[in-house]
Amino acid sequence: MIFQNYVEVKFISLIMKKSSLLTLLIVINLSVCFSQTGIKRQIVVPMNNLNGVPYSVVEGFLSLDGFEIDKAGNFYFLNGNTKSSILVKVKENKFLYRKTYNGYIGSQLHIFNNNIYVLNYSKNNISVFATNGSLITRYNHITSENINSYRFVDSTLVIDTLDNSGDLNYALYSIKGQKIKNISNPYNLPDRVFRNEQATGSVLYLGKWNNKYLFWYIDPKRIGYEKFWLVNDDGEVLKTKFFESKQFGTGYEDFEEFKKLRNGSIFVFGHKGKQGIITELSPAEMFK
């Protein structure tokens, strides 16, 4: 009986050692795979209208108005309604400030020359804030046309309007809301670049990295994956990288605002429940 117990103990011990070794190998393998994806880090921030990232619930889905990153790596989040707007500044997962403003100040955040620019399309004005959250100035009634959609591109503003036939027209504005010219596409890209797959609807131009054009898209040919690719000056695809969407959490309706190329990295903001997830990607690792 003693010998039988001894054999059972040795057998169990051997299984545990093998199990531990297998677990270690799995962890090591997962760690290697994770590092190969190009994901540098993920930061979790609480989404909370009292002391976290402000948000709204629209038709059962979480929604917010703005996301931006400054040169020091601080994160900014904006959300508002007709009564008030809230801007928060976050370093890693520490909240540096929380500012509340009367009324709706707009959506989509863009930092230029250390100032934060926000467009309120319902009033056609641009508000400019210092990175400490104080209002510097406001450019009122920048256009008499009805804005259909818009985006900040390379420290300019592109405004889309509908003509009588229902087609979109694109106009380039300065960061201060002064019209510069009409343009041919929503990102003011050269025609030789904005063609083929790059000109597909819902494709997002993130910006230039390493003198190449960087794009994003949810590829219908690979359900559950998001596609990033580099294009040269002739519109030729150089390299492509896929990520599983679930790595980023659930996205937001305004997908364009929550994927940004800043400081040599791609930042994606999503959420799992009411935990916001900031994912930093390394193009250098993705496209080496």
All residues at 6 or more sequence positions from 115 whose CB lies less than 8 Å from its CB, including other chains:
128, 129, 130, 131, 136
Q: Are residues 31 and 44 in the same domain?
A: no
The DSSP bridge partners found for residue 116 are: 111, 129
pLDDT at 31: 32
Tell which residue, 5, 6, 95, has the closest CA to residue 52. 95
Backbone torsions φ then ψ of 74, nearest 5 degrees: -80, 150
- pLDDT for 216-265, tens place per residue? 999 888 999 999 999 999 999 999 999 999 999 999 988 899 999 999 99
Under 8 Å between Cβ of 245 and 259: no
pLDDT at 21: 40
Q: Are residues 42 and 30 in the same domain?
A: no
**How many structural domains does the chain have?**
2
The pLDDT confidence band at residue 22, using thresholds 50, 70 and 90, is: very low
Q: Are residues 42 and 132 in the same domain?
A: yes
Q: Are residues 105 and 202 in the same domain?
A: yes
pLDDT at 8: 40
Tell me the residue range of the domain where 209 lies.
Answer: 37-286
Q: Of 29-43, 45-59, 182-196, which gets the smallest average pLDDT?
A: 29-43
The pLDDT confidence band at residue 201, using thresholds 50, 70 and 90, is: confident
The pLDDT confidence band at residue 81, using thresholds 50, 70 and 90, is: very high
- Measured CA to CA in angstroms, residue 24 lies from 14, 20, 41 at distances of 15, 6, 22
The pLDDT confidence band at residue 24, using thresholds 50, 70 and 90, is: very low
Sign of CA dihedral 160, 163, 168, 172: negative
Q: Are residues 59 and 130 in the same domain?
A: yes
CA 33 vs. chain centroid, Å, equals 23
Q: From its phi and psi, is residue 210 left (phi > 0), alpha (psi between -120 and 50) or beta?
A: left
pLDDT at 33: 35
Report the percent of the chain where pLDDT is more than 70: 88
Q: Are residues 149 and 260 in the same domain?
A: yes
Placement of tokens 């450019």 in the chain:
139
Q: Are residues 193 and 218 in the same domain?
A: yes
- pLDDT for 95-139, tens place per residue? 999 999 999 999 999 999 999 999 999 999 999 999 999 999 999
CATH number of the domain residue 105 falls in: 2.120.10
Q: Are residues 132 and 257 in the same domain?
A: yes
What per-residue string of b and e applies to 108-138 under the rule 16 or more CB within 10 Å gives b? bbbbeeeebbbbbbebbbbbbbebebeeeee
Q: From its phi and psi, is residue 30 left (phi > 0), alpha (psi between -120 and 50) or beta?
A: alpha
User: Exposure of 186 by Cβ count < 10 A (0-12 exposed, 13-18 middle, 19+ buried)?
Assistant: buried
